[in-house]
Amino acid sequence: MPFRASVVTLYPDMFPGPLGHSLAGRALERGDWTLDTTHIRLFGEGRHRTVDDTPAGGSAGMVLRADVLSRAIDAASPPGDDRPRLLMSPRGEPLTQPLVRALSAEPGLVIVCGRFEGVDERVIEGRALREVSVGDYILSGGEAGALVLLDAVVRLLPGVMGNAQSGTCESFEDGLLEHPHYTRPPVWEGRAIPDVLTSGDHGAVDRWRRQEAERITRERRPDLMARLARDTDG
């Protein structure tokens, strides 16, 4: 069975968006994965299909109603559906490469995209939504985050990348940022490819790449280096 992604959103026209191109798009055309959307507005209340209301206790903005959103989620993921249910949320757990790998091993995903000030907490609890964040910043809604998450997950599905090793030699796969890359021409604007990369000594190349990955990670993401050190010591 292909990996099945379902997105619950107020803006279904945003999908597949960039996921209809490049690796993900070709995989979608081949049927390696499927994508469907559920329009929250169709489950709204009254003649105007209202989906939100003012926050209890008073505050700025509006909140997606629990009754409306739960109906949309239930339509996208009826009883018996064993796919994880995610909510794109700035307060969620960070989207990391290990999490991406774990999600890619699932039969699919149900991704709920919030809007306005957020989602009624009761539907998060009642529908067991796992909150996931793509970064420490605020977006207009969960759709952009859902596109990011799906792009990261889909490229790891079997057969999506031409070279399966491509997915294991990247930033974050071993806790480090990726080493620098070079290709032709051998000299560009006076800058030459490092000699070790053209030496034919594969052991030396591997050592150089590891050293460069550690250097870049140390300079740019000391938090990753500290985490790697803790994991090694533990």
- Spell out the domain ranges in the chain: 3-154, 171-233
**Mean pLDDT computed over 114-129:** 96
In whole angstroms, give the CA distance from residue 8 to residue 114: 9
What's the pTM? Answer: 0.91
CATH of 3-154, one of 3.40.640.10, 3.30.1360.150, 3.40.1280.10, 3.40.50.150: 3.40.1280.10
pLDDT over 90 percentage in the chain: 90
Tokens 């490092």 belong to residue: 194
Helix (H) or strand (E) holding 211: helix 202-220
β-strand pairing of 85-94 with 187-188 = unpaired
Answer whether 3-154 and 171-233 agree in fold. no
Burial 70-103 (b: 16+ CB within 10 A, else e): bbbbeebbeeeeebbbbbbbbebeebebebbbeb
Give the pLDDT of residue 135: 97
* Omega of the bond leading into 185 within 30 degrees of 0 (cis): yes
**Mean pLDDT computed over 211-231:** 94
Q: What is the CATH number of domain 171-233?
A: 1.10.1270.20
The predicted-structure confidence for 156-192, as pLDDT tens digits, reads as follows 999 999 765 555 556 677 889 999 999 999 999 999 9
